[in-house]
Structure 1
Amino acid sequence: MFTGLSAFPLTPMNEHGVDEGTFARLVERLAEAGVNAIGALGSTGSYAYLDRAERARVAQLAVTHAGTVPVMVGIGALRTRQVLELAEDAQRAGASAVLLAPVSYQPLTEDEVFGLYRTVATSLSVPLCVYDNPGTTRFTFSDELHERIAQLPQVKSIKIPAVPADPAAAGARVARLRALLPPEVTIGVSGDALAATGLNAGCSAWYSVLGGLFPRTALAISRAALGGEAEQAQQLSEQLEPLWALFRQHGSLRVIATAAELQGWASSPCLPLPLDTLGAADRQALAAQLDKLALA
């Protein structure tokens, strides 16, 4: 499940709670499209804004409605105790894997982060994906720390941030990390605008925001890249540059949530306050791009 397209859906919600029916339909849409895995309660899934009971329920819904598609569930939280509880809930729900970011309020040291992963990894009965997301956590993994963590039991993939835009630099980045990891630990790329570059550079998986709403569009890119059609994958990604520009300007979560509302796949509001979707002018610009790009 740590190769190919891992699609990360929204968790639509308002101040009264999670919109369970809408979430279930989003997950079913991903399963019907044939994604390789579903990543519930990632950053796109707004996991940090939900309490334990809500997260357990979302995990249950994801597994139930994913059919035969494996589900990875985010378990990041401020305290190790909470992470262990969330891991237990995810496993009880039937998750095939868990995703862990080093969430913090006080800045964490490398030893503290290693200690977190060691404690969690040794308690799991399912695989773990390391979530390297400095834009959200404000923690930057060194390659040496990735090497240490990758030796732990159950660690099977690393979700890295966007690779450099230059293909040669991207290839060097992935090769440098690959050389430090056990062969069974895959490298998956995030940062959708550079996902094709990352896959062409040797990443095995794409952990995708876009794929969580428009799975067939994302599958076309990932299948081309992983099938050896590097130029085709790059061309397909470049066609989406207007969308990538909006991601860079507003953040992918706000854009993809607005897109879900515009498509009629989620009611407004679908983000937890104080987060909000795009304002009128930007919403109109996104609607125009959705019509032009014909995402699926």
Structure 2
Amino acid sequence: MANQSNDREQGKIEGQRLHVSIVQPDEYKERDLRAQETLAGWAMPMFLAAVASVIITAIGTFLILKQVQLTRTAVQDTAKATNAVLEGNDLTRRAHRPWITLDLTPHFSGPYHDGLHMKFDFHFENVGPTLATGVSTKTALLCQRVDETPLAFRTRMSELIEMWKSAYGAPDNHCLAPKAVGTVPFWETFMPPDLIVKEFLAGHLGADIIAMAAVFYKAADIEALQCSWRVWTLGHMDRRNFIAFIPIGRSLREEDLVAQPLLAGLMHHEYPSLPSDHDRA
């Protein structure tokens, strides 16, 4: 009896083991299937969420770039507005600064030994509304050389301006009030080889004479040194016609002489401020 009972219990145990071995793989498959179905159910929402994330990131990036562009535009507009204000202030300041113009009156031209003697006056006037200080004038007569091109002659005039500027040293108390006029008498004698004589008309000898004048001055609230300069070609009237040369061997009076402005009329330059006499000491 005992043996039969034991065999019966052993058979139940073996049956349970067989049941587990048969049933357990099916449960795993069911669980795996349920997991796959769950994942499949979440696949579309996860895809939509990823797409939405990409779209939101793209929109955010676009908005950031747009903000950068707007900021850059605002900075540029601010810079332009600042420059406009500075230019307006500069124009206002320059509208209230002194302006000095130049003019020339020839008085005499005539022979002197083998050369030519000339006399004339330079006039300078402050047409600006404020006082000009440190006023200094320079004058010269030039004759174009035989082998000198017009460009080389103009370069020589510019170099003369630079030389005058380097020699500037007028005292600050030398001033010119608004609407005030100053006069600088000037005379010059040209002798060969500086005097270049040419035949302009049949049997008429003459010379190309260029008069040049510059005035250096200072303006309040402007550090740069101001320079106004002008160039004239000297000629004479012959039967009411202007002849652009000075005849040799013939005396001419004021009513016969003419000073014709060259280049663009009155020229104006600004230079960096030069050290004063006190600074040089």
TM-score normalized with structure 2 length: 0.19
**Higher relative helix content:** 1
Greater C-alpha Rg: 2
TM-score normalized with structure 1 length: 0.19
